[in-house]
Chains A and B, each alone.
Chain A
Amino acid sequence: MTKKQLSIFIENKGGTLIKVLEVLSKAGIQIIASTIADTKDYGIYRVICDKPEDAYLILKEEGVNLQLTDVNAVAVEDKVGAAADVLHKLTDDGVNIAYMYSYLEGGKGMLIYKTN
């Protein structure tokens, strides 16, 4: 299935990440999973939340640079080896993964990934 992910442009400076989290918190948006890499001048903070379209509009109003990105989501059994099985299938199908992260939901593991 696909999910809507917030891709937020964050300057590598103190206070920028906190500002985004505070805006979301004040708007009652719940973050389900998120990730940001250790890059130099800026990073893209990727967020799965409970109300992505609302979050997008609220952050845009605050003047934040962001995008609503379609990402793939696949639920797997919460057991050892489950992710490897999924990746085998994807690689066999010739799918190239750009980035990936995961979280647990309702006893299942959710793999979020974007393809090239």
Chain B
Amino acid sequence: MQEQGIDPRKDTKLKILAIGAEPHSEEQRKRIENMLGVKAYNSFGMSEMCGPGVGFECKEQNGLHFWEDYYIVEIVDPETLEPVPDGEIGELILTSINREAMPLLRYRTRDLTRVLGRGCPCGRNHVRLDRMKGRSDDMMVLRGVNIFPIQIEKILMQFKELANNYLITLTTDENNDNMTVEVELEDLFTDDYQRLIQLQKDVKRALKDEILLTPHVKLVPKGSLPTSEGKAVRVIDKRTVYN
């Protein structure tokens, strides 16, 4: 719209936006509201329940009301699975009570959040949960797509020119999320720049076919990526989505 010289605040009649599917910060929400001249209400959902709308913000914009007449909401410690007190961050567990054919009992969403309160000036008493704070597994969400590091690992392992060590870095520039995959070269298999560039392109295309978005791919020398003693750190998320 900017490129076409349209000012959404003046030139459109947009009033309300319902947003969701990806974690975002309070700053990002306010930016969207300012840019478009609308009110943007956060939502939460998942295909395992009903799709979007398992939880929704009211006009207070202070937490997501979860529809407790349809879903039993529990917040538990992701290690012990014991309930945590209101206000403490834990993993969201959902049980669908009106679903037929495929009800889910105590389904681990792997989303981390906390109870903000159980009353609201809007008059609804459905529990209010905070915006999602993170995941208790290693799944990433980028441009609306769910991605597990193991998917990237599977593709990289198909290339014999690549060694085992890789690092995924997530960043945001302007409004887009970006993924950079640095991967170590096994032995230097060629002296020819063109073949190295071709390898980079092939890896990029194979990754895109698997994860549906195109990452930047960087070939790095063997041994140049950090190693760790325990579980390898595969993802560095420099975005500010969970604030």
Contacts and interface: CB of A to CB of B under 8 A. Distances in A.
A39 B193 contact: yes
B222 A63 contact: yes
Interface in B161-188: 185, 187-188
Contacts of A42: 196, 219-221
Q: Which of A5, A11, A39 has the most CB of B within 10 A?
A: A11
Interface stretch (A24-32, A65-73, A81-89): A65-73
Interface residues of A, number: 21
B192 A11 contact: no
A41 B218 contact: yes
Interface residues of B, number: 16
Given A9-B185, A11-B224, A69 B219 contact: no
Interface string A5-18: 10111110000100
B188 to A, nearest CB: 4
A3 to B, nearest CB: 13
Contact of B221 (A9, A39, A67, A69): A9
Interface in B133-151: none
A42 B182 CA distance: 12
Contacts of B223: 63
B187 A44 contact: no
B79 interface: no
B221 A65 contact: yes
A58 to B, nearest CB: 15
A10 B221 CA distance: 7
Interface of A: 5, 7-11, 16, 37, 39, 41-42, 44, 46, 63-67, 69, 98, 114
19 contacts: A5-B191, A7-B191, A8-B188, A9-B185, A9-B188, A10-B221, A11-B224, A41-B219, A42-B196, A44-B191, A44-B196, A46-B191, A64-B221, A67-B187, A67-B188, A67-B191, A69-B191, A98-B192, A114-B191
